[in-house]
């Protein structure tokens, strides 16, 4: 959200790149800007396609460009995506048919123990 007399140019990027990192995110909807009076709201919709928790998340930047005379405004947030443990096949180093029972326990923080 930004304010100004005229429409602004919004740009979203991640981790210092010029665009969103397609290793972790898929664009669902391009940036759409709505204006009410002098308030301009940009909406950019992405879908997480890979977890980035092992990298401590990823910084997503939103930049509002007011033009040459007025400059730019930036806001950054860190977005962290996790593994879906319910869909991961857990493999064990236990050989089959050795009589041992190995069960995975969801710790609740994105990790499992066996």
**What's the N-to-C CA distance of the chain in angstroms?**
46
pTM: 0.66
Six-digit token string for 50: 């890979």
pLDDT in tens, 13-27: 997 888 899 999 999
pLDDT in tens, 27-60: 999 999 999 998 989 999 999 999 998 889 999 9
Q: What is the DSSP letter of 83?
A: -
């Amino acid at each position: 959200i930004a304010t100004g007399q005229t429409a602004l140019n919004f740009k979203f990027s991640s981790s210092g790149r010029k665009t969103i990192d397609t290793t972790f995110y898929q664009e669902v909807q391009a940036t759409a800007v709505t204006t009410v009076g002098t308030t301009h709201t940009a909406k950019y919709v992405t879908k997480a396609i890979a977890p980035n928790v092992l990298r401590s998340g990823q910084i997503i930047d939103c930049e509002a460009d007011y033009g040459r005379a007025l400059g730019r405004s930036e806001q950054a947030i860190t977005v962290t995506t996790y593994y879906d443990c319910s869909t991961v096949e857990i493999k064990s180093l236990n050989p089959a048919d050795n009589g041992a029972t190995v069960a995975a326990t969801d710790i609740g923080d994105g990790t499992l123990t066996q």
